[in-house]
């Protein structure tokens, strides 16, 4: 095998570079149409469309669907592309040729370039960040780890071995210190609902190996807030700075409410929409501060404070406790909303308004 590497390094590659420089292409007789090739120092080249992880995931394929890793640096050999047989060719122009790095060169096979979870040139995991879920569990998601800290418990780390931003899932190995499934494997799917809220589902948490975890595709994304994660709903991941009541609602007076991160738009029956521009969000205390629309027919450019709460049945209620404050600080300091019985009282002289999705 070492002699083969030596021959390729001293003869095949310089000849190939010369052929490109002279505008030549190999004849059909030169094609290598084997279905697999030797691998030295790593695994086969990455599969089409998904991120591959673990080991040396790249190499040079000389006729098959798997590649041969030869050296650790890439080499650009010209501005034109060359096909040397098979269904995909070798690009030797705008992209470089890697002989053992994180991308692969196909010289007659069907392999293509993916993105590894480690090494230079990888794509970033699309959901990196810090979140709190609907069970008050803290989540810190980094490129290679997902750390969950359940209320009153020590952090649990899941080591990420593969992720697929295009298919919205990752595979990770459980922490060896996990009290329930140490060193087993998990697959975690994520999705976004119609309002843009992020949800996750740990569809399997006790797989025997990475491949078994990756193959579990049973998570259903249709209605993550209600079902689809085995026998349960998915869990919502909210950034601490994200307004937790983002969504579209109808209240008990048939007014519509479109609540986004930076604006609350109310449309009263028969009237034009009124926009409140959100300047402060306080999820823990369940209130926000917003400036009224300059076109508000009653209190243009004044300031409002909106409180929200949930009753015992889980229904969402809101109270615009002040709507005509002279400035932001005055609105924020109006703390007179009472949450005891929102359906009956507590919003000044009135009850709160129910918001139904």
- Between 1 and 245, where is the model more confident? 245
Looking at every residue in the chain, the average pLDDT score rounds to 75
pLDDT value, residue 122: 59
Q: What angle do CA 145, 117, 209 make, to 5 degrees?
A: 70
pLDDT value, residue 179: 87
- Between 300 and 123, where is the model more confident? 300
pLDDT value, residue 279: 87
Query: In the predicted model, what is the mean pLDDT of residues 299-317?
Result: 96
pLDDT value, residue 240: 72
Task: Report whether pLDDT(92) > 90.
Answer: no
Query: In the predicted model, what is the mean pLDDT of residues 97-111?
Result: 35
Query: In the predicted model, what is the mean pLDDT of residues 102-117?
Result: 35
Query: In the predicted model, what is the mean pLDDT of residues 229-233?
Result: 97
Instruction: Give the span between the Cα atoms of 187 and 181, in whole angstroms.
Output: 13
Highest mean pLDDT among 42-46, 117-121, 221-225: 221-225
Task: Report whether pLDDT(309) > 90.
Answer: yes
The model's pLDDT over 12-64, given as tens digits with 9 standing for 90+, comes to 444 444 443 444 444 444 434 333 333 333 333 333 333 333 333 333 333 33
Rg from Cα positions in the chain: 29
pLDDT value, residue 85: 37
**Torsion angle of C-alpha atoms 327, 328, 330, 334, degrees rounded to 10:** 140
Spatial neighbors of 245 by CB under 8 A, at least 6 apart, are 259, 308, 316, 318, 355
- DSSP codes, 233-249: --EEEE-TTS-TT-EEE
Task: Report whether pLDDT(11) > 80.
Answer: no
Mean pLDDT is lowest, of 59-63, 219-223, 275-279, 329-333, for 59-63
């Amino acid at each position: 095998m070492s002699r083969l590497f030596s021959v390729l390094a001293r003869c095949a590659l310089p000849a190939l570079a010369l052929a490109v420089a002279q505008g030549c292409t190999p004849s059909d007789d030169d094609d290598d149409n084997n279905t697999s090739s030797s691998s030295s120092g790593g695994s086969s080249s990455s599969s089409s469309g998904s991120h591959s992880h673990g080991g040396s995931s790249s190499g040079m394929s000389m006729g098959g669907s798997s590649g041969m890793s030869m050296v650790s640096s890439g080499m650009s050999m010209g501005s034109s592309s060359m096909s040397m047989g098979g269904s995909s060719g070798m690009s030797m122009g705008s992209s470089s040729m890697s002989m053992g790095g994180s991308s692969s060169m196909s010289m007659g096979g069907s392999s293509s370039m993916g993105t590894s979870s480690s090494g230079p040139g990888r794509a970033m995991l699309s959901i990196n960040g810090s979140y709190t879920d609907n069970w008050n569990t803290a989540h810190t998601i980094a490129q290679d780890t997902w750390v969950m800290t359940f209320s009153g418990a020590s952090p649990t780390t899941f080591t990420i071995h593969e992720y697929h931003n295009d298919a919205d899932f990752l595979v990770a190995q459980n922490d060896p210190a996990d009290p329930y499934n140490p060193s087993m494997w998990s697959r975690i799917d994520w999705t976004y609902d119609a309002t843009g809220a992020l949800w996750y589902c740990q569809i399997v948490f006790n797989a025997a190996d990475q491949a078994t975890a990756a193959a579990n595709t049973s998570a259903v994304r249709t209605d993550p807030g209600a079902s689809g994660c085995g026998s349960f709903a998915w869990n919502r991941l909210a950034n601490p700075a994200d307004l937790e009541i983002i969504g579209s609602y109808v209240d008990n007076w048939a007014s519509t409410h479109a609540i986004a991160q930076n604006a609350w738009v109310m449309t009263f029956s028969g009237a034009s929409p009124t926009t409140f521009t959100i300047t402060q969000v306080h999820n823990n205390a369940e209130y926000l501060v917003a400036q009224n629309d300059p076109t508000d027919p009653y209190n243009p450019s004044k300031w409002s404070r909106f409180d929200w709460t949930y009753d015992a049945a889980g229904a969402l209620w809101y109270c615009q406790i002040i709507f005509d404050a002279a400035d932001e600080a005055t609105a924020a300091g109006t703390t007179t909303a009472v949450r005891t019985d929102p359906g009956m009282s507590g919003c000044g002289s009135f009850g709160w308004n129910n918001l139904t999705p």
